[in-house]
Amino acid sequence: MPAVLLTQSIQNDMVAPIGRFDPIPNKLHVGHAEALRLMGENPAEGPVARTMRWAQRQPDAALRLIHIRDWHDPSDPSQRSHLELFGEHCLQHSEGAAFAFPHDPGDKNVAVVDSLTLNDFVGTQLEALLEPHRGQSLRVGLMGVWTEAKISFLAYELRTRYPEFDLAVCSALTASSSRAHHFQALDQLRRLLGVRIIDSVGEFIDFLGSQTGDDAPLVGLSPQLPIIEIADKDGEPATLVLAEVDSTLIRYLFRSCRLVRLRVLDGGFSGNIVCGTHSVDLEGQEQVPHVIKIGDQGEMGRERACFERVQDVLGNNAPSISDFADIGERGAIKYRYASMGGSFSTTLQKSYQAGAPAAEIGRVLDLVFGEQLARFYKAAILESVDLLDHYMFSPRWADKVRARVERILELPAGSPLAAGETLEIRPGVTVANVWRFYAHTLGHLPRRPRDQAYMAWVHGDLNGQNIILDAHGNVWLIDFSHTHRAHVLMDLVKLENDLLFLWTPVADEDELRRGFALIDALLEVRDLAAPLDRAPEAVAASPAMARAWTTLAKLRSFYPPLIHSDRDPFQLWVALLRYAGHTLSFDEAGPLQKLWALYAACRLSARISESLIASTRLRVDFVEPAWAGAGRVGLTLLPGRRDYGRDLGDDLATLRADGIGRVLCMVPRDELERYGVGDLLDAYREAGLTALHLPVVDQKASSVADMDQALAFIDAGVQAGEAVLVHCVGGLGRSGMAVACYLGKQGLDAAEAIARVRGARGPRAVETAVQEDFVRGYLRTQ
């Protein structure tokens, strides 16, 4: 059964190259940037031309080729409204209506469909061309413009008329005037119509089924030039040996050059080749620096698509894609660094390990997180997400984790010591077994099914080797193959993990135990927006550990504007465990570094387990009394909040079991509705609880009159010997403010009252400066 390739409006008026500052020739031209991406710098050698040359070589029995073109007659009254709306374009027999690719079908039977409207089935022979294939599971590929309009409309018609067709769109061979609209349309095609989105030209050709056994031809490739040289790496002999297919890809990407010299850039263990280049063109002129990346064609296609999504956001500190190609099973991308100052000098990891001063490391981190990636993070949105799923935790990894534990602790395979409740990492150092977290906790403990976390576009695989410094100290990012929307802290946490377990040397057992102390101190941080305290004494005594702590403090200084009021460390623990666990298999980490990472993973898994267990039962934290008598005052989060998967009936039963007799609710009604407990006040009364509703806007303070009423309500319960519950949504800010004011009225000063609330509920209680100021001001008037 043949496949079908449908091209959509790949015509000069739509995609012909234009200069960056040239006016758009008509309303439907995709513009300079998208035309360049789609057609290439030389359209005769670009991805569309290469794909067309391949398609025209395929036998008709294997591939039917159908070109859909806009073909307008300005004298036709029926087309007048379309031309008035979009302006004159693709007028029949004009140069603008001509195909923008080499159209030389030879003996191949190529159909051309003249489309007059946005619907390519109206008034055309397209339905008749496809009718013989009705009912068949035909593979149909789409390429052309506009992704959000003509391509999407065509895909919709095909899906509804021929639901059995297997539809695919190649992201590299489609375009719109807006890159954002292009990718949004691709996402919609995948999600709503079930269309395959293929990022690699080679994989798209494979989908269509190459019957000639070849790939899209590398047009312009010279068999001799350029000469490829591999430079020494850091003064040592280069070890890179290029396969023939990789050499071919390099010669194609630098086909206008006489010489290209490669310098290997370290980065990961994926098997990909990443090199900086120094190239000389055919006239002997040096070209601007480039980075080439060669790997699996599917992976390279995904990286190109990921980078294209975010290229405009990153600005001048990111490269541009100069060219790309694939052949066989390999693909390559050529990144241009036009404004780079000199050649590649070093990476952040090498600079840190060479002893760069804290000020220089801080400068680089400011540029990366305060400027470049901050453009992603500023658009973060608070979303419902299961963080354990998000970071790909699953019981299926348990066997691999156990095998890593056995190797690191030098235990025989299958040793029962690796499957116990605890592990003795070192004599006298016993921790919870991270393997049991994977094997048992993940499978048996209920999670908080709808955690909330801020999500944004992230680099996705940030490490010290893909942050590059040029000869002038400018900072550049490479390797965007994992760029996607994710937890906003992902990049920072990934770099923190590498800083500890890859960059920081662990010379001996004493240093290892100082590393354990560093992890212990980090686990005591309960407020992610608070600056890190001074390094603990054991950490400060080691220059390497103290330096790591200083750098960690810098990394965490970027947290507050990213997480806003979401300061709970649970999100950090989950992310750190993901990367610490991954480090256990890294070749780059030394034996003591892996022991350090194992210790961290075990401690983190225990904290996460404790948090998950605590989340299943409503926890009321009672403050230490500042009054005589049996009455008690406690704080908790919003009972029954649906975004945490809580059950209001269960939470009310817990309150009764804790002896709660009266409840002060400080949550406005619109927030109660938002969290799925609009009937909470009625539920309190039906459960026999005395309830007072004094709403306060989140993060804000109450009025003095409302606070007077709230404290009178609390005091009445305390004097009667009751247990009084005060809550807002998180049980921290508004409720903490009220309880601190009550403690102050019992004789504590403001600082003591706030400290006592935080001692019971955690350091984030009395959450904002506005609330702290209210407590101080209110108590001054009492």
Q: Output the pLDDT for position 263.
A: 84
How far does Cα 178 stand from its chain's mean position? Answer: 22
Domains of the chain, with CATH numbers? 3-208 (3.40.50.850), 227-339 (3.30.200.20), 349-508+524-536+554-614 (3.90.1200), 621-780 (3.90.190.10)
Q: Output the pLDDT for position 517.
A: 97
CB 231 within 8 A of CB 261: yes
Please name the helix (run of DSSP H) or strand (run of DSSP E) that holds residue 298, with its range, or none: helix 297-314
Which alpha helices (DSSP H) does 426-565 contain, by range?
Answer: 434-436, 442-444, 490-498, 509-523, 537-540, 543-556, 560-563
Q: Output the pLDDT for position 268.
A: 39
Query: Phi and psi (nearest 5°) for 652?
Result: -65, -35
Q: Output the pLDDT for position 267.
A: 42
Low-confidence ranges of the chain (pLDDT < 50): 212, 267-269, 449
Partners of 111 in the β-ladder:
66
State the Cα–Cα distance between residues 281 and 287, nearest whole angstrom: 7
State the Cα–Cα distance between residues 281 and 515, nearest whole angstrom: 51
Q: Output the pLDDT for position 360.
A: 96
Q: Output the pLDDT for position 340.
A: 64
Cα-Cα-Cα-Cα torsion 473, 474, 479, 480, nearest 10 degrees, comes to 150
State the Cα–Cα distance between residues 353 and 363, nearest whole angstrom: 16
What is the per-residue pLDDT across 722-764, written as a single tens digit (0 to 9) for each? 999 999 998 999 999 999 999 999 999 999 999 999 999 888 8
With tokens 């919709």, the residue in question is 156
CB 147 within 8 A of CB 186: yes
pTM score, two decimals? 0.76
What is the per-residue pLDDT across 419-469, written as a single tens digit (0 to 9) for each? 889 999 999 999 999 999 998 888 665 555 457 899 999 999 999 988 988
DSSP calls for 86-141? H-S-SBTTSGGGSBSS----TTS-EEEEEE-SS-TTTTSSHHHHHGGGTTS--EEE
Q: Output the pLDDT for position 233.
A: 60
Query: Phi and psi (nearest 5°) for 748?
Result: -80, 150
